[in-house]
Amino acid sequence: MRSTWGFRRSCGIWLGYSLAIGDSWQSFPQTSTADRDPGHFMRTLPRRRSEMVVSLSLIASLALFTAVPIFAQEVPGGEAVAVVFWAALLVTLIPYYIVWGVATQIIARKTDTENGWLAWIPIANFILWAKIARKPLWWGTLCVVPVLGMVFTALLWIAIAEARKKPSWCGILMIVPVVQFIVPGYLAWSD
């Protein structure tokens, strides 16, 4: 007797459902070896589906960042969609901001830098980075300038990593989009 998992598996491919479940197509319950299809599409997907799901989620989020505010006024009831969108954005950014502030404050404490509370003030945290890195304060103000900001952020985080006695390449990782969320935590909570 053939199970319904073959049908569910094929529907899951189209819906993207199977990307979030299991390590491979073989993780679905099989009633017999006849249900397995060696040439199935699922074998060709990457082993780490969580990375693919995260990538697709980021792409969808970027599409929403541009679409919702632009088209909210043209669609009836679009204002409500925009409010829900911005509320969801805040719900995701607030925990990140809290972790970032705590990590910067801990780095300031571990490097014996005064005024660690500046980590919680949006522009003043750049000044705190300059103090932790033992660089002139104007380096922190240049983090706000669009193109120079990336360069000076990387230079400051290289110096911050050296102040924490970590490899200087950790600071360079601050310009890599996803890794920049991990580096401050690594510098703060590692020995």
The model's pLDDT over 101-147, given as tens digits with 9 standing for 90+, comes to 999 999 999 999 999 999 999 889 999 999 999 999 999 999 999 88
State how far the Cα of 2 lies from the Cα of 106, in Å rounded to an integer: 59
Q: State whether 15 and 71 are in the same domain.
A: no
Confidence of residue 64 (pLDDT cuts 50, 70, 90): low
**pLDDT the model gives residue 1:** 46
pLDDT tops 80 at residue 65: no
Q: State whether 158 and 75 are in the same domain.
A: yes
Q: State whether 154 and 99 are in the same domain.
A: yes
pLDDT tops 90 at residue 60: no
Q: State whether 182 and 95 are in the same domain.
A: yes
Secondary structure class of 5 (helix, strand, coil): helix
Q: State whether 40 and 89 are in the same domain.
A: no
HSE at residue 180, side-chain half, CA atoms within 13 A, is 10
**What tokens does 7 get?**
């049908």
Q: State whether 17 and 73 are in the same domain.
A: no
**pLDDT the model gives residue 91:** 87
Give how many domains the chain has, as a whole number. 2
Q: State whether 82 and 24 are in the same domain.
A: no
Q: State whether 12 and 56 are in the same domain.
A: no
DSSP codes of every residue in 103-145: HHHHHHHHTT-S-GGGGGSTTHHHHHHHHHHT--HHHHHGGGS
Confidence of residue 77 (pLDDT cuts 50, 70, 90): low
Q: State whether 97 and 176 are in the same domain.
A: yes
Residue in the structure block whose two tokens are 């300031």: 108
Q: State whether 61 and 102 are in the same domain.
A: yes
pLDDT tops 50 at residue 180: yes
Nearest to 26 by CA among 179, 189, 18: 18
**pLDDT the model gives residue 191:** 80
What is the average per-residue pLDDT within 169-190? 88
63 lies in which domain range? Answer: 51-189
Q: State whether 58 and 31 are in the same domain.
A: no
Q: State whether 137 and 177 are in the same domain.
A: yes
